[in-house]
Amino acid sequence: MLVEQGVAIPTTQSFLNYLLLSLYLVSMIYHRELFTTFKSRWWMYLIVALLDVEANFLVVKAYQFTTITSIMLIDCFAIPTVMLLSYIFLKARYTKFHYFGVFLCLAGLACLVVSDVISGKNEGQEGKFPPVSRLPG
């Protein structure tokens, strides 16, 4: 709805989330629960924070160029992807309940794809959104 009104503020839309996360982190550091970890690895937290801000910026920006169904598809696929990558690279182990959650995500993904195909919502969407070169910065 914001795009239809000509409003493009993807970073500002996530500001409250980051403000609350910052307050929580500061309170944890203040109470010395994370102080030693944060003091030795502050640069890692900075890199992760920058990546998170950019990822959220791109997700919010994606709303300008696609349908809500497509964004939900990407969102449903994020959890299984993160679990797979953490299993491979971090050697994380999961319980039956975790795998059931992944199954639910993938089932939701399949339902979204099937409902989109059945309803034909993506047909004729080519002219709905302006080309990237005509969008305001």
Task: Give residue 20's pLDDT.
Answer: 85
* Predicted local distance difference test score (pLDDT) of residue 34: 64
Q: Provide the pLDDT for residue 10.
A: 67
Model pLDDT, residue 121: 62
Q: Which residue has the tokens 């944890």?
A: 28
Task: State residue 37's pLDDT score.
Answer: 65
Structure confidence at residue 2 (pLDDT)? 66
Q: What are the 10-residue block averages of pLDDT along the chain, 137 residues in total? A: 70 77 78 67 78 79 73 77 87 91 85 78 52 46
Rounded to the nearest 10°, the torsion over CA 108, 111, 113, 119 is -140
Annotated domain spans of the chain: 1-64, 67-137
CB–CB of 71/59 below 8 Å?
A: yes
Residues 6+ apart with CB under 8 A from 72: 112
